[in-house]
Amino acid sequence: MTASATINGVDTAQITTLVGHLTEVPSAGDTTWRAEVTWVDGFRNEVRVRDLSPTYVDEPETLGGRNSAPNPVEQLLGALGSCLATGYTANASLRGITIRDLRIELEGHIDLGCFLGIKAGYAGYPEVSVKVNLDADAPAETLQDLHEHVLIASPVGNTIQSAVALKAQLVTNN
């Protein structure tokens, strides 16, 4: 692979440089990510990350929202799918595999009665189903190895699969 190779729209030289740096200085891989959410009105919230344009969250009209943006549980599915897509793209590119098509379908069930406090139970997704449709220029065995690696290494997938400590602090103006 040449130093300036671009595969699947990924600058593999840049990723290879990052891998080399993290190999030499493992502590450089310890990163912190932030988001800030500001309530707008009703169920609409503005989400800001880094210096990017804001994105929004809302609920469908059937849940009392204005249906102007995905809701949080839809965004969680989108975050997982996007993280997996990034994993497939990065790792396929580093392995010299050209992706012709990649589409990831995700689905999960939420019990709104638990969320709204009408009944006891688990308010989150008890399970998320993921179907990866991948068309690439590699043998099925190579793509299966890629698939297994992506699932093991996905930061969002790992976060969803593991118990994560949630430390929430309330700050009031009272």
pLDDT for res 155: 97
The domain segmentation of the chain, as residue ranges, is: 33-69, 71-161
pLDDT given for residue 124 in this prediction: 94
Q: What is the pLDDT of residue 80?
A: 98
Instruction: Report residue 61 as tokens.
Output: 């009209």
pLDDT of 4: 61
Q: What would the DSSP string read from start to end of 135-161? A: EESS-HHHHHHHHHHHHHH-HHHHHHH
What torsion do the CA atoms of 131, 157, 35, 109 make, to the nearest 10 degrees? 60
Q: What is the pTM of this model?
A: 0.91
Phi first, then psi: give them for residue 27, nearest 5 degrees: -65, -20
DSSP reduced 3-state for 43: coil
pLDDT for 9 equals 96
User: Please, what are the averages of pLDDT over each run of 10 residues along the chain (174 residues)?
Assistant: 76 93 95 96 98 98 97 98 98 97 98 94 95 98 98 97 91 90
Question: Domain 71-161 is of which CATH architecture?
Answer: 2-Layer Sandwich (3.30)
Name which of 31, 10, 152, 26 is nearest 90 in CA terms.
Answer: 10
pLDDT score at 114? 94
As a dihedral over the C-alpha atoms of residue 19, residue 21, residue 23, residue 27, rounded to 10 degrees, the angle is -120
